[in-house]
């Protein structure tokens, strides 16, 4: 019994330290956002969609190309690494829930807060030429002919929506089992969208496409694991042994989900163009 308590205590301390380090990392990359914005907007005024941001479309002769430029690459890599911090926080939050401990009760809100934070960031800063920080208006941002920008903003809206649901769930306001579905469904849908996520006329387009395809595969697999865990984790009818078997199966699928989320976070952390 003592050994089990020591093991649980060690696990709690490890997750707590990792969470603290990630929070520090998140604040660190957050301070770089101002620099990234200055780099992105220090090129003078832009005209039209293609001349700014991601360079999707025709680029005027007088305008420098953003897609694949040192500034564009720095901006994109910064965004992906900040996303990595949020995803790693989600993974650590899910590992914490597997410990079935009451320590750091507030930590159960790490997942929804990470979803809300990443969603808000994407909605505002995903594309430096698009609404609300760029020259492209609201309507064109969401209904224009640039699928990359539309996907980024759609991810932002979905992250904010799922994050709001998860906050309500963790406060006990949505106890119905159906409200457990948005999170894994988002992983499935978001992962599937990554299979077609392109960065326009980028010199490293093939490398970027491969990266997003692998990440999409991990996300779809993670979402499937989370769905199966929820399906398996149903009230067991019968012997106590059967109930224990159900708990073990659910734990394995939840562990696979949390592990894959962390893998995606590490992949984002190592992202380069």
* Domain map (residue ranges) of the chain: 67-270
Q: What is the pLDDT of residue 234?
A: 64
Q: What average pLDDT does this structure show over 75-99?
A: 93
Q: What is the pLDDT of residue 253?
A: 95
pLDDT band at 67 (very low <50, low <70, confident <90, very high): confident
Residue 273, pLDDT above cutoff 60? yes
- Kindly report which listed range (27-41, 185-199, 252-266) carries the lowest average pLDDT score: 27-41
Residue 79, pLDDT above cutoff 50? yes
pTM, rounded to two decimals: 0.75
Tokens representing 158 are 């979905």
Residues recorded for the chain? 273
Number of H helices, E strands in the chain: 9, 0
Q: Which residue has the higher pLDDT, 72 or 121?
A: 121
Q: What is the pLDDT of residue 174?
A: 95
Q: What is the pLDDT of residue 98?
A: 85
DSSP reduced 3-state for 171: coil
Q: What is the pLDDT of residue 107?
A: 81
Tens of pLDDT, residue by residue over 91-131, are 999 988 887 666 667 788 999 999 999 999 999 999 989 99
What lies within 8 Å, CB to CB, of 79 at 6+ separation is 121, 125, 126
Tens of pLDDT, residue by residue over 157-204, are 999 999 999 999 999 999 999 999 999 999 999 999 999 887 767 788
Residue 70, pLDDT above cutoff 80? yes
What lies within 8 Å, CB to CB, of 154 at 6+ separation is 193
For the chain, what is the mean pLDDT? Answer: 79
DSSP reduced 3-state for 73: helix
DSSP assignment of 138-154 equals: HHHHHHSS-HHHHHHHH
Residue 14, pLDDT above cutoff 80? no
Q: What average pLDDT does this structure show over 215-239?
A: 84
Tens of pLDDT, residue by residue over 131-150, are 999 999 999 999 998 999 99
Q: What is the pLDDT of residue 105?
A: 73
Cα Rg, the chain, nearest whole Å: 21
Q: What is the pLDDT of residue 134?
A: 92
Cα separation values, 214 from 110, 209, 220, 267, Å: 25, 9, 10, 9
Q: Which residue has the higher pLDDT, 36 or 181?
A: 181
């Amino acid at each position: 019994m003592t050994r089990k308590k020591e093991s649980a205590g060690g696990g709690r301390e490890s997750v707590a330290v990792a969470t603290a380090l990630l929070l520090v990392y998140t604040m660190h990359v957050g301070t770089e956002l101002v620099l990234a914005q200055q780099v992105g907007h220090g090129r003078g005024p832009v005209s039209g969609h293609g001349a700014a941001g991601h360079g999707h479309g025709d680029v005027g002769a007088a305008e420098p190309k953003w897609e694949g430029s040192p500034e564009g690459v720095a901006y994109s890599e910064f965004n992906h690494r900040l996303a990595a911090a949020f995803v790693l926080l989600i993974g650590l939050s899910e590992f914490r829930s597997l410990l079935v401990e009451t320590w750091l009760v507030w930590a159960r809100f790490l997942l929804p807060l990470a979803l809300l934070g990443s969603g808000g960031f994407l909605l505002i800063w995903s594309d430096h030429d698009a609404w609300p920080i760029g020259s492209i208006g609201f309507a064109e941002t969401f209904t224009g002919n640039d699928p990359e920008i539309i996907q980024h903003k759609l991810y932002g809206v979905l992250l904010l929506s799922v994050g709001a649901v998860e906050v309500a769930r963790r406060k006990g306001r949505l106890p119905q089992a159906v409200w457990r579905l948005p999170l894994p469904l988002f992983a499935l849908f978001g992962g599937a969208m990554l299979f077609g996520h392109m960065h326009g006329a980028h010199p490293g387009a093939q490398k970027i496409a491969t990266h997003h395809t692998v990440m999409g595969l991990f996300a779809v697999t993670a979402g499937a694991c989370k769905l199966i865990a929820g399906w398996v984790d149903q009230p067991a009818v019968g012997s106590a042994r059967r109930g224990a078997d159900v708990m073990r199966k659910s734990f394995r699928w939840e562990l696979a989900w949390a592990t894959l989320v962390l893998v995606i976070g590490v992949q984002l952390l190592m992202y380069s163009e």
